[in-house]
Amino acid sequence: MNNTTCSASQSLLTASPTAEPAPANWMGIVSLALGVFGLVTAEFLPASLLTAMAADLNISVGAAGQAVTATAAVAALAALTLSRPAILIAGLCCFF
């Protein structure tokens, strides 16, 4: 290593403790929170309303449960297109 590299790396290690942190991206945080809220609501709401859904549609509770399971399976498969497929496939294999 030359002197320029050493002095640059040393200055990074001895940064001032009074340096201000980067400002938070609040729009990103709010959109992530709303997205998580929507996904969790979409997963848990049908489970709590299974008997009412089954009675309203004149089907068995098991058939209504399979409809909710099919929706979750489609969501899991759609997630493969959004992220690193190898990691997600390995994760899915652990559950099935």
Q: What is the pLDDT of residues 58-87, one digit of tens each?
A: 999 998 888 888 877 877 777 666 666 666
**Residue 38 pLDDT grade (very low, low, confident, very high; cuts 50, 70, 90):** confident
pLDDT score of 46 more than 70: yes
pLDDT of res. 87: 67
The answer to whether residue 85 sits within a structural domain is yes
Half-sphere exposure of 88 (CA within 13 A, CB side): 12
| pTM confidence score | 0.44
pLDDT score of 15 more than 90: no
- Domain range for residue 83? 27-95
Q: What is the tally of structural domains in the chain?
A: 1
The answer to whether residue 60 sits within a structural domain is yes
